[in-house]
């Protein structure tokens, strides 16, 4: 049983946890493309994303305070539905974490190039490796100082923009691409608020969770909405994004209104945000995968590891290897869409889980109840489902491809040891074949995004991955157990 001593965090600490999880690289790297989609109305896109996040976080708060087990979204869905749907959410969340790591690494590479002329692929891979080591050592971050620093930097940016460069004429036309542009912008900005859910992961350490968790979720979301909307408003008022600019958008604007030192300062903030995003995503993926191992959805024979490595570290290393493959592409827009696709689908399922849990477990103790139920979760489901329509086609293709693999893996894992070994081997063979086919399709232009295959290092990494999956398939098909 949890005691008051184990619950040591109050409302202020809870808000800091939310903001430290949300002040990530997404805002620094994705705002530019979102502004190109929505124009000055990106401010409206950010407002809608923030409000949608509040709706979903209310559902998270009820589920998180009622079911305080490791695994968050996966655990919520398992309690509500169990079976395949919880397995799907667990795998989708793992995928979202991997792509978040990739996106953050790509953003880090863009930011570091502002100071040092370094190969972006090398920078992306290096930061993932460094953060992997940090995460394995479980080094803690100074969250309060980081959050205060981010807010201070953004406040200085807004003040300087208003005084030195803001022009109301730059806000016209406000809706250059109409409603569809605004909704496309929402699709691309939604992940900027997703880090608030870090509060739910730390829920077991928060005092009076029924009061402090929902209050912290709402307060931090309001702070994020005000911060992001104001920065976007003043940034667009100074200068709209420029195509093929070698300098990150916010860094360029900060340089105009604050001088070279301002550009340096905002770029350093972006680098810090990238590192925070990577370490946070690694921590969340460990929580999700550990919960799936706990419930038998991640077989021990697949994730077993030598004692010198440890099961937790193997999860981190496995996710980092996959993140490196995607980070090496350097495709910010594509990776950003994949992250949002997975996040929106998870958010929709979590809201459905709340509806199901209210009916199936009416006597479950609920320290916090979602207001305006059932309208709140229903609106969350409808809005999240609507935004998925605006996902870029190649990212949507990859997302549904991943879901197809999840269906196959789930049904195959129901078999016994020998059959499961054969199933896992077959999946490995299938992954190797899929990667080879994807290269061919992209090279021939059948699917979009072939630019990523012009780099020899990316092709070499994909070939190496094919070989690894092929060998893994061989080792799983061969029964290595000694017969009595």
Whether the predicted pLDDT of 302 surpasses 50: no
pLDDT, one tens digit per residue, over 320-379 is: 887 887 777 666 666 667 777 888 888 888 889 999 988 888 888 888 888 988 898 898
User: Phi and psi at residue 44, in whole multiples of 5°?
Assistant: -65, -40
pTM: 0.76
pLDDT, one tens digit per residue, over 138-188 is: 544 546 778 888 889 899 999 998 888 888 888 888 999 898 899 888 888
- 208 — alpha (psi -120 to 50), left (phi > 0) or beta? left
Q: What is the pLDDT of residue 306?
A: 45
Written as one string, the DSSP assignment of 88-150 is HHHHHHHHHHHHHHHHHHHHHHHHHTTTS---HHHHHHHHHHHHHHHHHHT----HHHHHHHH
Q: Which CATH superfamily is domain 11-392 in?
A: Amino acid/polyamine transporter I (1.20.1740.10)
Using 50, 70 and 90 to split pLDDT, how confident is the model at 307?
Answer: very low
Q: What is the pLDDT of residue 234?
A: 94
The closest alpha carbon to 347, from 196, 164, 157, belongs to 196
Whether the predicted pLDDT of 233 surpasses 90: yes
Measure the CA dihedral 199/200/202/206, to 10°. Answer: 80
Whether the predicted pLDDT of 304 surpasses 60: no
Terminal-residue alpha carbon distance, the chain = 45
Greatest pairwise CA separation for the chain in angstroms: 82
Q: What is the pLDDT of residue 1?
A: 43
User: Residues 300, 306, 311, 317: is their CA dihedral positive or negative?
Assistant: negative
Q: CA dist 446 to 328, 330, 396, Å?
A: 21, 20, 15
pLDDT, one tens digit per residue, over 237-284 is: 998 887 666 778 888 888 888 888 888 888 888 888 888 888 888 878
Whether the predicted pLDDT of 123 surpasses 70: yes
Q: Using CA atoms, how far apart are residues 228 and 27, in angstroms rounded to an integer?
A: 8
Q: What is the pLDDT of residue 40?
A: 93
Whether the predicted pLDDT of 301 surpasses 50: no
Q: Using CA atoms, how far apart are residues 274 and 103, in angstroms rounded to an integer?
A: 9
- Over residues 291-308, the mean pLDDT reads 59
Q: What is the pLDDT of residue 47?
A: 95
pLDDT, one tens digit per residue, over 182-231 is: 988 888 888 888 888 888 877 777 888 888 999 999 999 999 999 999 99
% helix, strand, coil for the chain, step of 5: 75, 0, 20
Q: What is the pLDDT of residue 388?
A: 79
Using 50, 70 and 90 to split pLDDT, how confident is the model at 107?
Answer: confident
pLDDT, one tens digit per residue, over 432-470 is: 777 777 666 666 665 554 455 555 666 667 777 777 877
106 contacts 120 by C-beta, under 8 angstroms: yes
Q: What is the pLDDT of residue 467?
A: 79
Q: Using CA atoms, how far apart are residues 228 and 111, in angstroms rounded to an integer?
A: 19
pLDDT, one tens digit per residue, over 24-50 is: 888 888 888 889 989 999 999 999 999
159 Cβ contact partners less than 8 Å away, ≥ 6 residues apart = none
Q: What is the pLDDT of residue 272?
A: 86
Q: What is the pLDDT of residue 133?
A: 80
The distance of Cα 194 from the centroid of its chain, to the nearest Å, equals 7
Q: Of the ranges 50-54, 335-339, 389-393, which is most confident?
A: 50-54
Q: Using CA atoms, how far apart are residues 381 and 370, in angstroms rounded to an integer?
A: 14
455 Cβ contact partners less than 8 Å away, ≥ 6 residues apart = 121, 328
Q: Using CA atoms, how far apart are residues 250 and 256, in angstroms rounded to an integer?
A: 10
pLDDT, one tens digit per residue, over 67-88 is: 877 777 888 888 888 778 888 8
Q: Which is more confidently placed, 190 or 305? A: 190
Q: What is the pLDDT of residue 3?
A: 47
At residue 246, the 3 state secondary structure works out as coil
Q: 374 preceded by cis ω (within 30°)?
A: yes
Using 50, 70 and 90 to split pLDDT, how confident is the model at 2?
Answer: very low
């Amino acid at each position: 049983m949890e005691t008051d001593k184990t619950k040591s965090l109050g409302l202020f600490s809870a808000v800091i946890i939310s903001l430290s999880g949300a002040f990530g690289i997404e805002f620094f790297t994705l705002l530019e493309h979102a502004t190109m989609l929505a124009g000055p109305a990106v401010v409206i896109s950010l407002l809608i994303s923030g409000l949608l996040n509040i709706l979903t976080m209310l559902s998270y708060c009820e589920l998180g305070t009622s079911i305080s087990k490791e695994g968050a979204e996966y655990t919520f869905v398992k309690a509500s539905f169990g079976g395949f749907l919880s397995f799907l959410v667990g795998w989708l969340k793992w995928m979202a974490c991997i792509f978040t790591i990739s996106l953050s690494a790509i953003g880090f590479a863009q930011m570091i190039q502002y100071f040092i002329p370094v190969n972006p692929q090398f920078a992306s891979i290096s930061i993932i490796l460094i953060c992997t080591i940090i995460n394995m050592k479980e080094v803690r971050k100074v969250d309060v100082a980081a959050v205060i620093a981010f807010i201070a930097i953004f406040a200085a940016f807004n003040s300087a923009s208003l005084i030195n460069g803001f022009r109301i004429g730059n806000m016209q036309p406000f809706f250059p691409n109409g409603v569809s542009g605004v909704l496309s912008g929402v699709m691309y900005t939604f992940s900027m608020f997703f880090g608030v859910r870090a509060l739910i992961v730390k829920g077991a350490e928060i005092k009076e969770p029924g009061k402090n968790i929902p209050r912290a979720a709402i307060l931090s979301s309001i702070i994020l909405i005000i911060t992001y909307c104001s920065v976007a408003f003043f940034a667009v008022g100074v200068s709209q994004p420029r195509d093929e600019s070698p300098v990150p958008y916010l860094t360029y604007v900060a340089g105009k209104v604050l001088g070279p030192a301002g550009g340096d300062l905002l770029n350093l903030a972006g680098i810090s945000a990238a590192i925070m995003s990577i370490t946070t995503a690694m921590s969340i993926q460990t929580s999700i995968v550990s919960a799936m191992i706990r419930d038998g959805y991640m077989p021990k024979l697949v994730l077993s590891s030598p004692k010198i490595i440890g099961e937790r570290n193997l999860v981190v290393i496995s996710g980092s290897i996959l993140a490196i493959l995607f980070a090496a592409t350097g495709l910010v827009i594509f990776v950003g869409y994949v992250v949002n696709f997975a996040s929106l689908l998870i958010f929709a399922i979590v809201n459905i889980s709340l509806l199901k849990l209210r009916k199936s477990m009416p006597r479950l103790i609920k320290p916090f109840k979602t207001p305006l139920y059932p309208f709140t979760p229903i609106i969350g489901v409808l809005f999240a489902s609507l935004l998925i329509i605006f996902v870029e086609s190649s990212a949507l293709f990859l997302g549904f491809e991943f879901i197809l693999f999840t269906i196959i893996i789930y049904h195959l894992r129901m078999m016994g040891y020998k059959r499961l070994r054969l199933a896992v081997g077959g999946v490995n063979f299938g992954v190797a074949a899929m990667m080879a086919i994807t290269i061919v399709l992209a090279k021939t232009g059948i699917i979009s995004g072939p630019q990523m295959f012009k780099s020899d290092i990316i092709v070499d990494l994909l070939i190496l991955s094919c070989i690894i999956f092929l060998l893994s398939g061989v080792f799983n098909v061969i029964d290595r157990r000694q017969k009595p």
